[in-house]
Structure 1
Amino acid sequence: MIPLIDVAGGPAARGEAYGRQAKSWIDTAIGFYRADFAARGVEWAEAERIAESFRDGIEAFDPAIATEIEAIARGAKVPVAAIVLLNARTEVLFWHASGADAGPALKPGPEAEECTSAIVMPERSAEGRLWHAQNWDWRPDAAAHTVAVRITGAEVPDALHFVEAGQLARHGLNRCGIAVTAMGLHTVGQYGKPGIPSPVVRRRVLQQESFGRALGEVFRSPASFSHALMISHGEGEAWCLECTPDRIFWLEPEEGVLSHANHFKHPAAVAADIERNLTRVPDSLYRDGRVARRLKAGDKASLEDMKRAFADRFGAPDAVLRHPNQRPGSLLSATVYTLIMSPSEGAAQLSIRPWEGTDFQHFTL
């Protein structure tokens, strides 16, 4: 089971309530990443210095979100830079400062989050509703600081977020029927570019009431690292936006299914030869393909079909469902959770450490 944290009110009120209620898990997350950075030979103070540049960018981009980050830190009694780091940890982990005067740098590592996501459209669904699912693959110990945050009674739509404690967003849905999941991508020459951390972009997506504006937030948000965002609406819309710091490519469902893993799929992106992840995670090809084929097979795809697709162990340990296993660069990786959302119902179910056979925990708005 993961904890459910309820917050309400404006950015300062909900941020402080979040930080206060989630303090023990935030402390665990900070300790986790402090050790992770130390294992790379990077002092925490240096990581916080890099995070400050992202803090300035967030403040300029969205002052309300910057206020919420400060309030989370205040509620949890931790430095603001630590909360920024939790939200910009992918960008900071892969940061590569350029120029002789840039100071010490974090060299890009060989690892990133390795996830699989799929959306089944209502016309393809046995239940007649859109299903939006994700296997989030990262360090298995991250399960110890994973929480659900439910926002209600705010100036933004009610929403459910499934996050590492201290983060603004990762995967989730809102009361307007919009849902988002994300996967890490990797391109050449993208290091050292300022931009907005991915969790901030995802929070902006779920703060919108209309699907068009939710998509627009991605196009208006300058990314500093590549990612693929799967964005759906419960009434039957779904798009995948493959984002780099320089360009955005978009994909739509085929045969009622939209799927993605950790490589670029848009023909223009493939032709541009910007893909750099497949040398590290070639299994991304068959993870994406196997989930898509399973959900397209037969007459209709049911909720149980979704669960089976995301429990696929072909190619283990490099499977859709990952057991803890050493990846290149000595990274220990596993599926932290399987998440299946029904945006039209404002409902989700999540299995933490699914490789242990854990039951699904149910959440609603």
Structure 2
Amino acid sequence: MSATQFFPLVDVAGDAYERGRQHGRAVPERIAAGAMLYRAQLSHRGLDSATIDTLARSMVPQIQAFDETYLEEMRGIADGAGTTLEDILTINCRTEMLYGFARMQDDTMRHEEMEDGDCTGLVVLPRRSATGRLIHAHNWDWRQECGDTCIVLRIRSKNGPDILSFTEAGALARHGLNSNGMSLTGNAMSCHKDFQNGPGAPVVLLRRRLLEATNLAHAMRAVYGAQRYCSSNMILAQSSADDGCGISLEAAPDEVYPMLPQADVLVHANHWLSPVALIRLKDPGLAARPDSLYRQHRVETALRAIEGRGVSWDDIRSILADDFGYPDGVLRSPKPGDFSSISATVATTLMDAANGVMWVARKPYEGREFQEYAL
């Protein structure tokens, strides 16, 4: 298989601006394609170029309030790629920009038109793992074009753990692991409180902060302490050579609902699981992605069915390739999405954070060839 069929590895180091500049210089074509993709998605919803730029700039105060260095890194990415800061802001804040515009238009857009992808994540604790180490894995279902706009970003840090993140080119993070054994995956969620209480931290930036965490408690405090603009689920784990722990945090804008592993397994798709959340929240997005219900069930059932031995990486690859309900399976094959887009599983990611290793398959509906990346 040729290298072009895998995601490129981008190495960065130095201060925030320098890291960004190295990132931008390494993959300018992918950054340009990503910015073009989201500008097109926004324009299909009636936004002209000037409005997109205005919305992008409106995110600057929220980013500065959350972490000024993240804005400096975005400036570096823009300069390195030879593009505008507005393009980089759009890549990192497209969800908030899109929903924010909908709020300005008195909620005229349907929830399914603002969907941020259908994903399935899982953790298997060391006691259930064939290797004796924690398994963390994820399917990212989003725009098919992102198979050509993503990278694996390796960040060398002077002031914290090194990071290995699968992300969109130009974005600060999506999911990944760090040199302290922390790992993160995130799934889209929705509730009736989203975008009701003013601006908050963009989801991409919150994920980056979690990947910078020194330990699981630090990461959890970051979620609980963040001002959140919209709902999301974050599966966090910390691994060592022979131990590990994982937790799922269902984060609404105003409250966090934790879910711990059951029988040493944790699975999350795109709907609320916490009994308390189910009582308190309405989920307007579930009608757009009802397959979340059976994706959750099928992954849980498949993991429970493995008895008498540990869960292997081959088991995980097979479970995340389940295409029951084609094309709306755990593995999503390309299908029409909103506004002429194509929805698909962009990547399957497997993480052994204790060893600092990640395996990623690009467009896994075409074939399950995994490339290894390591800290």
- Are 1:261 and 2:266 an aligned pair? no
Q: 2:3 maps to which residue?
A: none
- Are 1:130 and 2:134 an aligned pair? yes
Q: 1:218 maps to which residue?
A: 223
Contact 2:135 2:350 in 1 (8 A): yes
Contact 1:310 1:338 in 2 (8 A): yes
Q: Is the alpha carbon distance of 1:24 and 1:328 closer, same or farther for their aligned partners in structure 2, counting shifts above 3 Å?
A: closer
- Determine helix, strand or coil for the equivalent of 2:100: coil
* Structure 1 unaligned spans of 5+: none
Work out the CA distance in 2 between the residues paired with 1:39 and 1:187: 24
Contact 1:95 1:108 in 2 (8 A): no
Work out the CA distance in 1 between the residues paired with 2:363 and 2:323: 14
* Partner residue of 1:274 out of 263, 266, 282: 282
Cα shift at 1:34: 1.6
Q: 1:311 maps to which residue?
A: 321
Identity over aligned residues, as a percent?
Answer: 36
Q: What RMSD, in angstroms, separates the aligned Cα atoms of the two structures?
A: 1.7
Contact 2:111 2:284 in 1 (8 A): no
TM-score of the superposed pair, with normalisation by structure 1:
0.95
Cα shift at 1:143: 0.7
Q: Is the alpha carbon distance of 1:164 and 1:154 closer, same or farther for their aligned partners in structure 2, counting shifts above 3 Å?
A: same
Work out the CA distance in 2 between the residues paired with 1:273 and 1:243: 11
* Partner residue of 2:152 out of 141, 148, 167: 148
Work out the CA distance in 2 between the residues paired with 1:355 and 1:97: 33
Work out the CA distance in 2 between the residues paired with 1:347 and 1:49: 40
Q: 2:52 maps to which residue?
A: 47
Contact 1:93 1:109 in 2 (8 A): no
- Are 1:343 and 2:347 an aligned pair? no
Q: Is the alpha carbon distance of 1:328 and 1:146 closer, same or farther for their aligned partners in structure 2, counting shifts above 3 Å?
A: closer
Q: 1:157 maps to which residue?
A: 161
TM-score of the superposed pair, with normalisation by structure 2:
0.92
Cα shift at 1:209: 1.3
Contact 2:193 2:252 in 1 (8 A): no
- Determine helix, strand or coil for the equivalent of 1:219: helix
Work out the CA distance in 1 between the residues paired with 2:136 and 2:37: 29
Q: 2:332 maps to which residue?
A: 322
After superposition, residues 1-365 of structure 1 pair within 5 angstroms as 1-96=6-101, 98=103, 107-110=109-112, 111-191=115-195, 193-235=198-240, 236-297=244-305, 298-299=307-308, 300-327=310-337, 331-365=341-375
Cα shift at 1:97: 5.5
Contact 1:147 1:163 in 2 (8 A): yes
Amino acid at match of 2:129: S
Work out the CA distance in 2 between the residues paired with 1:109 and 1:363: 36
Work out the CA distance in 2 between the residues paired with 1:280 and 1:54: 27
- Determine helix, strand or coil for the equivalent of 1:116: strand
* Structure 2 unaligned spans of 5+: 1-5
Work out the CA distance in 1 between the residues paired with 2:106 and 2:33: 26
Work out the CA distance in 2 between the residues paired with 1:287 and 1:344: 27
Cα shift at 1:31: 1.2
Cα shift at 1:277: 2.2
Cα shift at 1:170: 0.2
- Determine helix, strand or coil for the equivalent of 2:118: coil
Work out the CA distance in 2 between the residues paired with 1:121 and 1:48: 44
Q: How many residues align?
A: 362
Deviations 1:71-116 (A, max 9, x none): 1111112221221111111122222465xxx589884551331000
